[in-house]
Structure 1
């Protein structure tokens, strides 16, 4: 029996595993609890695709039963282009939906593509502000898997959550080891602060690619010169489960990026019950406030050092921030909420709704 082409198709047309790939892998299984969703996957995400690529040509000429059209969900330039080829080139009944997380204006080509989409999702108010006027149909922030990213489960008869050391011992920095992530700023702040705060240490997790290994070696030399090599450690590229375990062990997650798309690591840390200190990059100004942590001026070492010192000198407040961060992640930033909001937009498009769309003639 021929398998029917699903009403919604999500595209992952990239062979390397990226943040976009991780988003698709996390969301699609949850979305499929409510809707039939096909997947065109070049990146071997390990998900059931639910269709064959040839089905686009064999079955894409008619809308699915009970709907006005199908939905093609793109998150990259190439994916928009393929959706437009189906809709405009082949005249198939598709609505092209694009999700944008970039906190910067789109280039001319991407702007041209965005203006021809039927609907656009922005992942933050900041990213929405850079898109062509009138094109954003919905702002749907990224969520995290709050069942996976969670504090240490309660022991039988216990209250749950990780034990509260006094003072809390570890600061964590998670993500790629490179200058754009502000790792050098964090190292310099730690070199300044840790000698007078013997109760603290720090760990860095993440990949240093060959081009960045000299950058890492330079940081390690700075740490050794300060006599802090036993208190500031680089753990390397770790699997998802091990990273989660480190989130649970640290009292403070520092995210110091000079530039960022959305930036999920602070949310993952918050879901694990950890306070956060971030720059103003990405969506972080919309996620982090004095209830769950602090922010500092992007790229400014003095601002980072001052904010970090303030937090480290209040261990009791750090723990309270971590508890509030977990509650906020559950209330506002669950992956289930993101999946449900996107599915709601799919349904509107399947029904033929005319959502926000920028005028073709308007420049970015």
Structure 2
């Protein structure tokens, strides 16, 4: 486990959630890159061993000041903002508080109250910044281009993962719930598969207890149509294994009804996989002309048409495939995101 000397820690990145989420993924992939240029440690109940980290309990006992005077506390959830405020005002720790907001909707009264007490606010998109009462610096998410890269042998990897080697594979990954549009994806894919049985749908993610009936309803609908053999419902895998599940795809679909930012299309594109997405979150900035196509949210017919057309002559998907990784490399590298955040941290640390 990669423990950091607490006395040397300049920046703390809390991750107070046990389960995999978009925020957890952000912390896990970003902190190791940031640690090359600043002494940063993640902390939380479950942090992967390769991530520089400090035990949760050490937050109570750590020295009041860091090596530069204050430390930066970079929160990404309400509970983490509350934790930073408690450490600062109840335990007297010298902290500069930063919050990243990925939301694209009006925040609750509690969230607005917490944000007003931050020393700096980051938004992950221009659209998200417009919803904030406080001034925010826009820093878009990036991706590790070494960790997320195209497969050298896609057929061999598919065989290893137990997937159809010669099929066209279309994926949709993330939490299974209505806001993520899992049902929209499956409705659209059922229509696509009826027209082209060589296409298979991969759905990977976790349904929490309140969403299990929603998932079962989707599965029952697929079963009734006799299409179960073309749909693969896969269990959630650790963050470090996700790249393989993108590499084996021919097309990735992001069918969200609502999204704060939306990292999965970038991950797919870094692996050389074109994307069909809805016009929510930051997808309009991510999926540009020549890398895929966009449709209105909550429109299974439009989504079905877009997916079907991608695989139809003159096969636009072949052209998109050539463009996606260069586009991500130019605009969405994790090194760019890390550098912009570190510059913000240093400004706060130097202000004392």
The alignment covers a number of residue pairs equal to 336
Partners of 1:174 and 1:311 in 2: CA distance: 19
Q: Is the 8 A contact 1:5 1:59 kept in 2?
A: no
Q: Is the 8 A contact 1:259 1:281 kept in 2?
A: yes
Partners of 2:314 and 2:207 in 1: CA distance: 31
Partners of 2:47 and 2:311 in 1: CA distance: 42
Displacement of 1:49 after TM fit?
2.5
Larger radius of gyration: 1
Q: 1:77 to 1:222 in 2, by over 3 A?
A: closer
Displacement of 1:282 after TM fit?
1.9
Q: Which residue of 2 aligns with 1:232?
A: 231
For structure 1, which segment, 334-343 or 15-24, has the greater mean C-alpha deviation from structure 2 after superposition?
15-24
Partners of 2:56 and 2:186 in 1: CA distance: 49
Partners of 2:182 and 2:312 in 1: CA distance: 22
Partners of 1:209 and 1:309 in 2: CA distance: 31
Q: Which residue of 1 aligns with 2:308?
A: 309
Q: Which has the higher contact order (CA 8 A, sep 6+)?
A: 1
- TM-score under structure 1 length normalisation: 0.82
Q: Which residue of 2 aligns with 1:261?
A: 260
Structure 2: gaps spanning 5 or more residues:
155-165
Q: 1:52 to 1:113 in 2, by over 3 A?
A: closer
Partners of 2:171 and 2:76 in 1: CA distance: 30
Partners of 1:352 and 1:58 in 2: CA distance: 21
Partners of 1:225 and 1:18 in 2: CA distance: 32
Displacement of 1:205 after TM fit?
1.8
Q: Is the 8 A contact 2:169 2:248 kept in 1?
A: yes
Q: Is the 8 A contact 1:5 1:38 kept in 2?
A: no
Q: Which residue of 2 aligns with 1:287?
A: 286
Report SS of the residue matched to 1:130.
Answer: coil
Q: How does 1:115-154 map to 2 (within 5 A)?
A: 115-133=116-134, 135-136=135-136, 138-153=137-152
Q: Which residue of 2 aligns with 1:49?
A: 53
Q: Is the 8 A contact 2:44 2:56 kept in 1?
A: no
Q: 1:300 to 1:78 in 2, by over 3 A?
A: same
Displacement of 1:337 after TM fit?
1.8
Partners of 1:77 and 1:209 in 2: CA distance: 20
Q: How does 1:319-358 map to 2 (within 5 A)?
A: 319-352=318-351
For 1:276-326, what per-residue CA distance to the aligned partner results, in whole angstroms no more than 9, with x for missing partners? 011122221221122211111111223222322332324632022122111
- TM-score under structure 2 length normalisation: 0.85
Q: Which residue of 2 aligns with 1:191?
A: 190
Q: Which residue of 2 aligns with 1:158?
A: none
User: For 1:21, which of 20, 24, 31 is the aligned residue?
Assistant: 24
- Residues 1:172 and 2:171 aligned together: yes
Structure 1 vs Structure 2 CA RMSD: 2.7
